[in-house]
Amino acid sequence: MKGGEEREQERLLQDQAMENAVGILLRTGVLVAGAITFLGGMLYLARHGGEHFSYEIFRGEPADLRSPRGILAGLPSLQARSLIQFGLLVLIATPVLRVLLSVAAFARERDLLYVGITIIVLTILALSLFGVVP
């Protein structure tokens, strides 16, 4: 019985180390995303702040602001809206990276059941992010 408790304790410590790494990743992701979005926002307001605009009618975004590939393609021209959208994309990617990190962490603990479970979650996220679901 004592062996079981020790193993339990060890697992708890490993989980704790993993959570610390995850905490750092989440914080960094949010800060980087916030900084990029802020920069893009300043640029956007400096260029378009005086224009009139409302969101009352839904038009949908243009194609280059709809997909990771389109957003990345718009970056070199320093379009303000592309830059903001890139910041938001980093934000959406942060939890996805967290799940990816969990796959590695469970693999290191040789917890195959949870490697499998985490890969299912990762697959669902990838379906969404890469636009497989219409």
**73-112: contacts with other proteins (CB under 8 A):** 80-82, 84-85, 87-89, 91-96, 98-99, 102, 111
Nearest CB to other proteins, comparing residues 3 and 49:
49
Residue from the set 54, 76, 77, 110 that interacts with other proteins by CB under 8 A: 54
Quote the tokens at residue 93: 């990617």
Residue from the set 1, 2, 4, 49 that interacts with other proteins by CB under 8 A: 49
- Cα–Cα nearest to 23, from 82, 97, 75: 97
Binding mask 4-43 for other proteins (x = CB under 8 A): ----x---x--xx-xxx-xxx-xx-xx--xx--xx-xx--
Nearest CB to other proteins, comparing residues 3 and 50:
50
- Residue 55 φ then ψ, to 5°: -105, 25
CA 113 to mean position of chain CA atoms: 24
What distance in Å separates the CA atoms of residue 134 and residue 132, rounded to the nearest whole number? 6
Do residues 85 and 44 lie in contact, with contact meaning Cβ atoms separated by under 8 Å?
no
